[in-house]
Amino acid sequence: MKKKINIGLFGYGCVGQGFYKVLQQSPNTNAVITKIVVKDKSKSRDLPVQQFYYQPSDILLDNNIDTVVELIDDANAAYDIVKSALKLGKNVVSANKKLIAEHLDELIELANTQQVTFLYEASVCASIPIIRNIEDYFKSDHIQGFQGICNGTTNYILSRTAQGLTYDKALSEAQELGFAESDPTLDVDGFDAKYKLAILLKHVFGVSAKPEDIFNCGIRHIKPAHVNFADNYEGKLKLYSYAKQVEDKVIGFVAPFVVPLSHPNYNVENEFNAVNINAKFAHEQLFQGRGAGSVPTASAVLSDVQAFQTGYKYDYSSTKYNDNTFTNDFYLKIVLSAHDESSLDAIKFEHTAYSEVEGKLAFKVGWVYFRNLIKVDFNSRSNMFFAVISEDFKLRLSEVEHAVGEALV
Amino acid sequence: MKKKINIGLFGYGCVGQGFYKVLQQSPNTNAVITKIVVKDKSKSRDLPVQQFYYQPSDILLDNNIDTVVELIDDANAAYDIVKSALKLGKNVVSANKKLIAEHLDELIELANTQQVTFLYEASVCASIPIIRNIEDYFKSDHIQGFQGICNGTTNYILSRTAQGLTYDKALSEAQELGFAESDPTLDVDGFDAKYKLAILLKHVFGVSAKPEDIFNCGIRHIKPAHVNFADNYEGKLKLYSYAKQVEDKVIGFVAPFVVPLSHPNYNVENEFNAVNINAKFAHEQLFQGRGAGSVPTASAVLSDVQAFQTGYKYDYSSTKYNDNTFTNDFYLKIVLSAHDESSLDAIKFEHTAYSEVEGKLAFKVGWVYFRNLIKVDFNSRSNMFFAVISEDFKLRLSEVEHAVGEALV
Ligand SMILES: NC(=O)c1ccc[n+]([C@@H]2O[C@H](COP(=O)([O-])OP(=O)(O)OC[C@H]3O[C@@H](n4cnc5c(N)ncnc54)[C@H](OP(=O)(O)O)[C@@H]3O)[C@@H](O)[C@H]2O)c1
Ligand SMILES: NC(=O)c1ccc[n+]([C@@H]2O[C@H](COP(=O)([O-])OP(=O)(O)OC[C@H]3O[C@@H](n4cnc5c(N)ncnc54)[C@H](OP(=O)(O)O)[C@@H]3O)[C@@H](O)[C@H]2O)c1
């Protein structure tokens, strides 16, 4: 007989309500929600008022509650809640990617010290079991990189712009459909995708990179001409949470990529999320599913709760065996575009394959040093846009020259 | 420190050699291959001859060997080997879908009695962790059906026929590339896909269906006109290992389906395998990867070996909680085609949406009773072909009439 789990639930919004619902429909999961803590006393709810509490301590100091499920939308408050819960010896499930990306190492250590378990599958691509597969099944393989489409809002917008809509029209459509917030900054500028990337970097490569050290450029300034450019490359623009091992270094960033027709991610459309991993033995593996939504997200939370019953923990084996260093010191091949040719000079090209003016936009294709690229705050430069056009990254300028030389032969 | 695993390996062919290689490249897996048993004494090998043995007992009766990895191509010999190994208290990994599909219940029971573990991830879609995800992560969800592209040979052929090649041309191309055997019967007639379906039926629905009770129709008789038909439906033909829960019944069979553009499987091309599962909470989840090949298949074998070290076992929880009955008593919507109109009469249509003659082929679209359909041995009828055109299955004729009525309104 499985041990009964007594849950204290923080948050009863989109995911919290979904979790309540899926648990009700899962009689074989021996778990009950004992208390729910929310913020706003005046809100009307679809459950009896006696089930709701308003002080974190109502759950945290309740000794009957062994498990905290944290599903609030405030990362700072969530940090206090999760830390206290772990300190008080409770297992914790969270879906809060911002909280986790910012404090993962501290929370892992705290959980270890307290001999409790901290799981957070829903924080990366919601329903897709990506963390679990990296931790368990692919532990015996060697993941060399991944291409994640980890933000449904931007993927929806990119699908629609590829079909001919302007960015503004696609964004308001996404908002009408509930895929985008009224302030879409976190999504369209790539912050949400970056939090997920930071979490994956830890599980795949054992790398602890703070969000502020990871570059993110979103899709806010995409124009039809950029869509056409990708099209001419037989590709589509996708916002990637990208990482790759290059020798003993790990590179990772969020940016638009031109994804070629032959890549499994090429067909990941609309609000879907996907992560394609490149494993040494298993080769490409694509995981595609819903990266948001009340019930799909809650399914991952439920799976974590169920995992407590079998004593499951993340192993973080990549931390044990890998000695990877995160770096922004590398060269990559991009297409840069700007409203006027002189703006292109904001970034030094180590090698220019070609440049051209198409309609009102100037384009330049070639190799740049990543540290030079990320000096530019693309999210706030409405006249500029770039996309990565190759997954061939070089640590040294001499290798760029070699690659360019080879291409010319 | 993980317990050291001493492996006795049966078979040193495509997968066996791959497994030897990946284990060598996995210093963190505390496992060694102690002995290898093969059949042909005269074959030259890339390892010293002292490593090879020719009697199963050389491994089976060796008390230092705690784990048998069975990677031979003879399902009958494999049955004896696996059964003996389990009886002698050894853990077993196998990639042999035919063996497993035919004897799963007996082997599960034997492993239980002997308190040993039997794992076989590589048997279904090779590198794709589909069994593990069903068993673990989605245990807390409720899988209501799946669409599997579980045979790389046929998927490659279908991709190429969709691009305009004839079946014969596509098949010989697949043979040249090493994707198809010189006798392709097991693949192109859907037997291989059926073995995998039988294994998935057990894990997803707790259903024990013998291969001989599962219908399989392959793609041997596909013509360009069938490709065109699918195209007119905005679809592509895919050979599905298909299963779905309909009320308290489970249906499952192997047949060509017209897969619509909107389905995640639509873009699974060439030799790739994929399984799309429909979960109640998580909704659609696509797993795509390599369904064959020396090293990718071996990656799954290695992952199973590694799983022994953490005491992992399949839980077969679907068997515990579900009370599903496998049935062939249902109605479905198909397109049937034949060289002459009269051959179409071989199958009774409960309702005909339309029929037409296009070039040299006669087509009929409508609802048929599955038991009537499977009376015809399509694999041996070169003048006939059918494909399923909807995932709407009905247990009762009255529901078919209702659906037809609705469609007419
Ligand atoms: N929505 C998705 O599809 C999705 C997918 C993956 C991950 N997530 C993550 O899941 C979490 C929840 O998202 P959501 O969409 O469910 O948010 P939401 O709909 O905005 O709901 C937030 C809930 O948190 C409660 N809350 C906020 N601050 C609180 C505090 N200090 N103390 C107690 N309760 C507090 C709110 O209380 P009131 O009800 O009183 O306002 C509300 O019930 C977030 O971390 C999000 O990033 C969401
Ligand atoms: N190939 C794939 O991509 C793939 C993918 C998934 C699953 N599988 C499954 O993996 C298994 C192995 O396939 P494979 O492609 O590696 O086959 P293979 O290349 O034909 O190799 C078969 C091996 O089995 C040995 N063998 C055959 N009968 C034997 C017996 N009675 N006793 C001992 N050894 C015996 C052969 O010995 P000799 O060397 O002496 O001839 C040979 O080494 C099959 O069950 C297959 O269905 C294969």
Is B25 in contact with A286 (Cβ distance < 8 A)? no
Tell whether A120 and A261 lie within a shared domain.
Answer: no
Q: CB distance from A84 to chain B under 8 Å?
A: no
Beta carbon pairs, A and B, within 8 Å: 126
Neighbouring CB atoms inside 10 A of B43's CB total: 10
Gap between the Cα atoms of A16 and A45, Å rounded: 12
Residues A15-38 as b/e (b if ≥16 CB within 10 A, e otherwise) read bbbbbbebbeebeebebebbbbbb
- Nearest CB neighbour to B140, from listed A274, A295, A306: A306
Phi, psi values for residue A75, rounded to 5°:
-65, -30
Q: Which residue reads 């020396």 in tokens? A: B294
Q: Chain B residue with minimal CA distance to A261? A: B267
Ligand 2 atom nearest the C-alpha of B12 is 43
Ligand 2 atom nearest the C-alpha of B74 is 28
Give the ligand with the smallest distance to the CA of A13: 1
Secondary structure letter of residue B314 according to DSSP: -
Task: Give CB contacts under 8 A, 24+ apart, made by A319-325.
Answer: A319/A202, A319/A206, A320/A206, A321/A206, A321/B28, A322/A205, A322/A206, A323/A248, A324/A205, A324/A206, A324/A207, A324/A245, A324/A248, A324/A249, A324/A250, A325/A207, A325/A248, A325/A249, A325/A250
Tell whether A17 and A120 lie within a shared domain.
Answer: yes
Q: Is the CB of A72 under 6 A from ligand 1?
A: yes
How far are the Cα atoms of A43, B77, B270 from residue B11, in angstroms, in the given order? 66, 11, 28
Phi-psi region of A45 (alpha: psi -120 to 50; beta: other; left: phi over 0): beta
User: Mean pLDDT, to the nearest integer, of B173-202?
Assistant: 96
Q: Among the options A196, A202, A244, A394, which is catalytic?
A: A196
Q: Is the CB of B239 under 6 A from ligand 2?
A: no
Report the CATH number that the domain containing residue B36 is assigned in CATH: 3.40.50.720
Instruction: Return the residue in B139, B299, B305, B314 with the most chain A beta carbons within 10 A, the one to mutate for interface testing.
Output: B299
How far are the Cα atoms of A202, A213, A365 from residue A205, in angstroms, in the given order? 6, 16, 30
Q: Is the CB of B40 under 6 A from ligand 2?
A: yes
> What's the gap in Å between B260 CA and the centre of ligand 2?
36
Q: CB distance from B299 to chain A under 8 Å?
A: yes
Q: Which residues touch A266 (CB under 8 Å, ≥6 apart)?
A: A235, A236, A259, A260, B267
> What's the gap in Å between A23 CA and the centre of ligand 1?
18
ipTM greater than 0.90: yes
Is A137 in contact with B132 (Cβ distance < 8 A)? yes
Nearest-10 Cα torsion for A343, A345, A348, A353:
90
Tell whether A107 and A142 lie within a shared domain.
Answer: no
Q: Chain B residue with minimal CA distance to A19? A: B281
Q: For chain A, which residues score pLDDT lower than 50? A: none
Reduce the DSSP state of residue B269 to 3 states and report it: coil
Show the tokens assigned to B326. Answer: 């496998």
User: Residue B237 is which amino acid?
Assistant: L
Closest CA to B148 of B241, B235, B211, B239: B241
B residues 334-373 near A, CB within 8 Å?
Answer: none
Gap between the Cα atoms of B120 and A33, Å rounded: 37
User: Mean pLDDT, to the nearest integer, of B167-190?
Assistant: 96
Show the tokens assigned to B174. Answer: 């697949």
Strand-pairing partners, residue A33, are A7
Q: Chain A residue with minimal CA distance to B141? A: A299
Task: Render pLDDT for B46-61 as a digit per residue (tens, 0 to 9).
Answer: 999 999 999 999 999 9
Q: Is the pLDDT of residue B322 over 80?
A: no
Secondary structure letter of residue A325 according to DSSP: E
B residues 92-121 near A, CB within 8 Å?
Answer: none
> What's the gap in Å between A32 CA and the centre of ligand 1?
20
Determine the distance from the C-alpha atom of residue A347 to the mean position of all C-alpha atoms in its chain, rounded to a whole number. Answer: 27
> What's the gap in Å between A12 CA and the centre of ligand 1?
7
Show the tokens assigned to B354. Answer: 């339309």
What is the per-residue pLDDT for A409?
A: 65
What is the per-residue pLDDT for A1?
A: 55
Domains identified in chain B, total number: 2
Task: Render pLDDT for A353-366 as a digit per residue (tens, 0 to 9).
Answer: 999 998 889 999 99
Ligand 2 atom nearest the C-alpha of B39 is 40
> What's the gap in Å between A91 CA and the centre of ligand 1?
19
Q: Around A62, how many Cα atoms within 13 Å sit in the side-chain half-sphere?
A: 20
Is B137 in contact with A282 (Cβ distance < 8 A)? no
What is the per-residue pLDDT for A320?
A: 86
Q: Is the pLDDT of residue B83 over 80?
A: yes
Is A285 in contact with B127 (Cβ distance < 8 A)? yes
Kindly list the residues from chain A whose CB atom is less than 8 angstroms away from the CB atom of residue B132.
136-137
Give the ligand with the smallest distance to the CA of B100: 2
Tell whether A239 and A368 lie within a shared domain.
Answer: yes
Kindly list the residues from chain B whose CB atom is less than 8 angstroms away from the CB atom of residue A284.
288-290
Ligand 1 atom nearest the C-alpha of A74 is 28
Closest CA to B239 of B152, B336, B364: B152
First to last CA, chain A: 69
Is A284 in contact with B290 (Cβ distance < 8 A)? yes
Q: CB distance from B281 to chain A under 8 Å?
A: yes
CA distance A22 to chain B (A): 7
Q: Which residue reads 């308003």 in tokens? A: A54
Closest CA to A97 of A70, A116, A117, A115: A70
Q: CB distance from A309 to chain B under 8 Å?
A: no
Kindly list the residues from chain A whose CB atom is less than 8 angstroms away from the CB atom of residue B137.
129, 132-133, 303
C-beta separation of A221 from A166 below 8 A: no
Q: CB distance from A289 to chain B under 8 Å?
A: yes
DSSP string, A120-171: -GGGTTTTS-HHHHHHTGGGGS-EEEEEEE--HHHHHHHHHHHTT--HHHHH
Tell whether A261 and A388 lie within a shared domain.
Answer: yes
Closest CA to A319 of A155, A209, A183, A191: A209
Is B303 in contact with A137 (Cβ distance < 8 A)? yes
Q: Is the CB of A199 under 6 A from ligand 1?
A: no
- Nearest CB neighbour to A127, from listed B285, B287, B307: B285
Q: Among the options B35, B97, B194, B196, which is catalytic?
A: B196
Gap between the Cα atoms of A5 and A25, Å rounded: 16
Gap between the Cα atoms of B243 and B254, Å rounded: 9
Report the CATH number that the domain containing residue A247 is assigned in CATH: 3.30.360.10
Would residue B196 show up in a list of annotated catalytic residues for this protein?
Answer: yes
Q: Is the CB of A10 under 6 A from ligand 1?
A: yes
Q: What is the band of B1 on the pLDDT scale with cuts at 50, 70, 90?
A: low
Q: Is the CB of A58 under 6 A from ligand 1?
A: no
Tell whether A256 and A306 lie within a shared domain.
Answer: no
Task: List the strands of the sheet with B52-53, edge to edge.
Answer: B52-53, B31-37, B5-10, B67-70, B91-94, B118-119
Phi-psi region of B16 (alpha: psi -120 to 50; beta: other; left: phi over 0): alpha
Give the ligand with the smallest distance to the CA of B75: 2
Kindly list the residues from chain B whose CB atom is less than 8 angstroms away from the CB atom of residue A266.
267
Task: Render pLDDT for B340-369 as a digit per residue (tens, 0 to 9).
Answer: 888 999 999 999 999 999 888 999 999 999
Neighbouring CB atoms inside 10 A of A75's CB total: 17
- Closest C-alpha to ligand 2, atom 33: B38
CA distance A127 to chain B (A): 5
How far are the Cα atoms of A131, A160, B152 from residue B126, in angstroms, in the given order? 21, 35, 10
Tell whether B97 and B162 lie within a shared domain.
Answer: no
Q: Which residue reads 């284990």 in tokens? A: B23
Range of the domain at B58: 5-128+294-320
Closest CA to B90 of B28, B7, B207, B158: B7
Tell whether A117 and A137 lie within a shared domain.
Answer: no
C-beta separation of A38 from A52 below 8 A: yes
Strand-pairing partners, residue A387, are A335
C-beta separation of A138 from A277 below 8 A: yes
Closest CA to A331 of A404, A395, A407, A257: A395
A residues 140-179 near B, CB within 8 Å?
Answer: 140-141
Give the ligand with the smallest distance to the CA of A293: 1
Tell whether A104 and A213 lie within a shared domain.
Answer: no
Q: CB distance from A30 to chain B under 8 Å?
A: no
Q: Is the pLDDT of residue B80 over 80?
A: yes
Secondary structure letter of residue A3 according to DSSP: P
Q: Chain A residue with minimal CA distance to B128? A: A285
Tell whether A282 and A298 lie within a shared domain.
Answer: no
CA distance A40 to chain B (A): 28
DSSP collapsed to 3 states, A284-298: EEEEEEECCCHHHHH
C-alpha angle A245-A188-A167 in degrees, rounded to nearest 5: 120
Q: Is the CB of A129 under 6 A from ligand 1?
A: no
Show the tokens assigned to B192. Answer: 């291989």
Phi-psi region of A214 (alpha: psi -120 to 50; beta: other; left: phi over 0): beta
Tell whether B305 and B329 lie within a shared domain.
Answer: no
Determine the distance from the C-alpha atom of residue A170 to the mean position of all C-alpha atoms in its chain, rounded to a whole number. Answer: 21
How far are the Cα atoms of A150, B286, B322, B383 from residue A287, in angstroms, in the given order? 11, 6, 27, 39
Residues in chain A: 409
Tell whether B61 and B200 lie within a shared domain.
Answer: no
Gap between the Cα atoms of B255 and B340, Å rounded: 22
Q: Which helix (H) or strand (E) holds B83?
A: helix B75-87
Q: CB distance from A290 to chain B under 8 Å?
A: yes
What is the per-residue pLDDT for A115?
A: 98
User: Mean pLDDT, to the nearest integer, of B311-329?
Assistant: 91
Q: Around A96, how many Cα atoms within 13 Å sit in the side-chain half-sphere?
A: 28
Strand B349-358 vs strand B361-369: parallel, antiparallel, or unpaired?
Answer: antiparallel
